[in-house]
Structure 1
Amino acid sequence: MTLGRALRGLGAPGIFLAPPEPVRSITGVRRDITALLGVAPRGPAWLPVDTLEPDTDVAAWLATTRRRRSIAVPVTSWDEYRHHFGGFEGPGRLPYAVSSFFAAGGERAYVIRIVHAHGDRFADARGRASGRFEELTTTGGAPVELFARTEGGWGNGLRATLRFTARPVSFEVSGPRRLVVDLREWIPGGSLLRLRLTGDISELRYVHTSMEEPDPTGPGRCRVLTLDTPVAIFPDRVEVVTASLEVVDGDRVFARRELIDGIGLRADHP
């Protein structure tokens, strides 16, 4: 009989039986996964929580939206790290720690880039490189601006080019605001049309609605485009105007190019 049981059996006050300690085995802990944080010349730093809706005032959205800092980005190699965060050209010791980790046999590193906080959300956005398109404004006269995805001097190496293309389409006039085109034509609402009139005159109209309807000239169905404003003179030719945005990243190691085609010029364009 143990002392505890003996005293408990005797009714001694405040004495309780202590259960035996379990034998704890030493288990292995993975050392090929780690988390590292520090300063990097580029890479994710802020993550928006709110969704940016069409026709949103971007400046006001940046000043009021909720964002999370310190995004953990998993990388599985030194090359993947350099693709996201750059190399040794920036300040700090983060790249040296990451390269040493993978050189020692590491499998995965969760990298967190630390950036400066200026005190409010709108001021934080100023840390990103930005630029304006020359001679291009919105309907209200405001300049069209582009912002780098994340802050840092790396954004100064971005080069953006906006091009416009006009694709002719076959059509039939069904009224001052209605055009009938082939059902297979992808001309959604918000598309910009250039109407060629007699005398080499051009007018621009937006597609207000794009609906599938029965073909008024025969069997089958067609697509009817309703314009935002009527046309006084029937056009001789109709063209669909779209834009393409090309962005070139001037990174010396990972030169990147992104091309977005089929861009509409109104917020309701998909």
Structure 2
Amino acid sequence: MAEDLRLGAPGVYSAPRGDIPAPLAPVRLDIAGFAGVCFRGPVNIPTTVPSWSDFQRIFGSLASAQGACPGFLPRAVQSFFAQGGSEAVVVRVAPVDPDPPEPTVPAQPAQVESTVPPGTAFCHLSPPDSTTPVLTLTAANEGSWGNQLEVRLSFDAGQSFDCRLVTGRGEQQLLVIPAGVALASGTLLSVRVPGGANVGALHWAEPDTVIDDKTGIGIAAAILATPLTDLPAGSRLAATEITATLTVLDHDPAFGREERLPRLGLHPAHPRWIATVLQRESELVRLHAPLPGPVLPPDGRLAGLSSRGAPTGGMDRWEAITIRSFFDDPSVDSDPLDQHCHRGVNALSRADDVGILAVPDITWSWAVDAPPPGPPPRRWLPRAVQSCAPGTAPPAEPVPPPAAHLDPREPGQLAELARRQQRLVAIAEVRKRFVVGLDAPLGLGIAGLLSWRAEFDSSFAAAYHPWLRVSSPADRGQTVLVPPSAFAAGILATRERRRGLIWGPANELAAGAVTSSDPSAAANADRLHLSAINTFVPERDGLRLTGARTLSADPAYRQLSIRRFMTMLALSIERECSWVVFESNNITLRLALHNNLTNFLTGLFRQGAFAGASERDSFFVHCDEVLNSTSSLAGGFLLAEVGVAPAAPLEYLVLRVAQDSGGLLEVEEKRG
């Protein structure tokens, strides 16, 4: 235990007790998970993104040389970070294809196109005076972005040293190398006679040790894989280590970059074997097939390899993305042990850190597959022309969705959207870790919105309306639509990180939003709020999120902050109390667990997380003999019961103004 002490000035220090468990720490829930359509990036692999620039680097920007991204994912993530979000986990969805056939080794040029994953760019690297490929590389993932790559492999002369040729065991030839020269396994050496030809012969070498005949001391040497002919033992030679550098230029107009992988080994035994380093370090390219053996420069002059022309084969296969790209085919609970590969939202839901889930492209439906839209809606006319019931707002001018997305104005497509969103809610219910943000359908009036909302009943889901518009410099200052759940996720993450989970994630302006898709949102805000549709309402200084409710019919979980607070409690206790496993199940263990839980809840009470005026009124912890009976202990169970009274956020502040007969004015505040 003394090694755990941090000692300072001389004095008496208390040694920590090893039998006291570490205090509980709240689980972080402010990391947002996004799944959707973008230009590039790993497919179906949850990837942590700490900033908008990191998203651009990994998944591409808002537009490419082929035009704007038809998916909402890039703008949703951009809006999340604009609200102050600090970290996101992103999953890119792509078409679901059968696995391509395994490439032959070595891969023949004529066979490459049939064995490269669909939509993935590839190129052949060959010497300047030959068309025979030495290496075939593919882009790291599918998309037209791979066609903009430029790849070069150069062979580099590294450390040079003088050495002496000796004969070892079994007539092996070795080079005695100077002290301080370190060679790795699988090193390629260019060996020549000093004063002779400038171009040396290439030889593979392995580090070894030989015993000096005079001193009996071992000295560093290198075993040559092939003998040096016509050179007697004792010959003085000059050797140079040969490595390679792979340079990949990405000519993406929005986020161009250069990737260099230096000191690559050319033999499988080398610690920086080119195939291993490419797989581990490169974000841009992969080997098309396993290399059959070492890679040799074309000749001793070390001429490099380059691709003849730009890579080909990269395609943005938007039309092949379907709802199967977003969800697994089996039900959400068919793989409790996570033994299989998963797609889209199912892959994202298995990321341990995600506390907020948004799927901005859940409406995806490529135009060629979408049913034709119905007749245009009746245009709103002035009051003088069209009668309007007193007190009702004029209907909003419906906003048609983009071509690649469902049109909720069509009943069939609205029903399909609701089914997809119900699948999201079902996943959230199973995982019980995150809250999924649902985007209210575009183009619906108040009656349609309320009818859509009635399809859901879950405390792990929250609905947001309307869609918001942001300025798009790429579109000459025009505004583009962004799903409101992206703004809500950023507001939720920022507010919880700044003030704590118990504070309602609302009453905040949507940074970057300039207008909304529904001009009547303010007039309908009351009805939407009572139906638990969290609404962005236009104000003088921007669009403000005015609600923080879940879609649950249970009054106890109506508030989003309470749902998330209870989730945090459950996850924190589950994660931080794992130390009790295999401990002796006795009164000492029960007392330690009771104290650990009580201290944790006391800390939350001091932060104002509970409704009670005292700890006794705010929470209780039971872990006694009543719960842990003899039969329970015999079965290996340890039971603890925790009850809390979380503080609910203030939603209504009513001021009652009264004036008595004497002219005294009183203002009475009523909270609710």
For the criterion TM > 0.5, the same-fold answer is yes
* Residues 226 and 41 (structure 1), Cα distance of their counterparts in 2 relative to 1, 3 Å cut: same
1:238 aligns with 2:235: no
Name the CA distance, whole Å, in 1 between partners of 2:149 and 2:215: 53
What is the CA deviation profile of residues 136-161 of structure 1, one whole-angstrom value per residue up to 9, with x for unaligned ones?
8xxxx863122222221112222222
The equivalent of 2:256 in structure 1 is 255
Distance in 1, matches of 2:57 and 2:42, equals 11
- Give the partner amino acid of 2:228: V
Q: 1:156 to 1:217 in 2, by over 3 A?
A: farther
1:100-249 aligned at under 5 Å gives the runs 100-122=79-101, 125-135=117-127, 143-166=134-157, 167-175=159-167, 177-197=173-193, 200=197, 202-207=200-205, 209-216=206-213, 218=215, 221-234=218-231, 236-249=237-250
Change in Cα spacing, 1:206 to 1:77, as seen in structure 2 (3 Å) is closer
- The answer to whether the Cα contact below 8 Å between 1:41 and 1:91 also exists between their aligned partners in 2 is no
Q: 1:91 aligns with which of 62, 66, 70?
A: 70
Q: Distance in 2 between matches of 1:134 and 1:196?
A: 26
| CA distance in structure 1 between the partners assigned to 2:76 and 2:125 by the alignment | 40
Structure 2 residue 41 is matched with structure 1 residue 43: yes
Gap change, CA 1:258 and 1:217, over 3 Å in 2: farther
**Alignment partners' CA distance in 1, 2:224 and 2:215:** 23
3-state SS of paired residue (1:97): helix
TM-score by length of 2: 0.29
Equivalent-residue separation in structure 2 for 1:158 and 1:86 (angstroms): 14
| Whole-Å separation in 2 of the counterparts to 1:252 and 1:216 | 64
Q: Within 1, Cα distance between the matches of 2:214 and 2:200?
A: 27
Q: Provide the rounded CA distance (Å) in 2 between the counterparts of 1:216 and 1:91.
A: 74
* Partner AA of 2:182 in structure 1: W
* Alpha-carbon separation, structure 1, partners of 2:50 and 2:265: 38
Answer whether contact 1:196 1:202 (CA < 8 A) is retained. Answer: yes
Which structure has the larger Rg?
2
Residues of 1 paired with 2:45 and 2:60: CA distance? Answer: 16
Q: How many residues align?
A: 212
Three-state SS of the structure 2 residue aligned to 1:92 is coil
Determine if contact 1:42/1:85 at 8 Å carries over to the other structure: yes
Asked if structure 2 preserves the Cα contact closer than 8 Å seen for 1:160 and 1:248, the reply is: yes
Shift of 1:128: 2.4
Letter in 2 for 1:163: S
Aligned pairs for 1:11-22 (under 5 A) are: none
Q: CA deviation at 1:216?
A: 4.3
Q: What's the C-alpha RMSD, in Å, of the aligned pairs?
A: 2.8
Which deviations, in whole Å up to 9, do the C-alpha atoms of 1:100-145 show, x marking residues without a partner?
3333443433211011232114456343222111228xxxx86312
Q: Distance in 2 between matches of 1:222 and 1:238?
A: 17
Shift of 1:32: 4.9
Range with bigger deviation, 34-43 or 159-168: 159-168
Paired residues of 2:154 and 2:246 also in contact (CA < 8 A)? yes
Deviation at 1:206, TM superposition (A): 0.9
- Stretches of structure 1 lacking an aligned partner (at least 5 in a row): 1-29, 46-69
Paired-residue identity, %: 32
**Cα offset, 1:181, TM superposition:** 0.3
Q: Which residue of 2 aligns with 1:77?
A: 51
Q: How far apart are residue 230 of structure 1 and its match? A: 1.3
Conserved 8 A contact 1:163-1:245? yes
Tell me what 1:6 maps to: none
When residues 223 and 82 of structure 1 are mapped into structure 2, their CA distance, relative to the original with a 3 A threshold, is same
Q: Tell me, what secondary structure is at the counterpart of 2:127?
A: strand
Asked if 2 retains the 8 angstrom alpha-carbon contact of 1:71 and 1:112, the reply is yes
1:96 is displaced (CA, Å) by 2.2
- CA deviation vs aligned residue, 1:3-55 (integer Å, no higher than 9, x gap): xxxxxxxxxxxxxxxxxxxxxxxxxxx9854322111101121xxxxxxxxxx
Matched residue SS, 1:100: helix
Instruction: Report the AA paired with residue 245 of structure 2.
Output: S
- The more displaced of 224-233 and 105-114 is 105-114
Distance change >3 Å, CA 215–CA 261, structure 1 → 2: farther
Structure (1 or 2) with the greater strand fraction: 1
Native 8 Å contact 1:118 1:124 kept in 2: no
Q: What secondary structure sits across from 1:170 in the alignment?
A: strand
The answer to whether the 8 Å contact 1:183/1:221 transfers is: no
Structure 2, unaligned runs of 5 or more: 1-27, 64-68, 102-114, 272-672
- 8 Å CA contact 1:31–1:106 kept in 2: the answer is no
CA–CA distance in structure 1, aligned partners of residues 125 and 116 of structure 2: 23
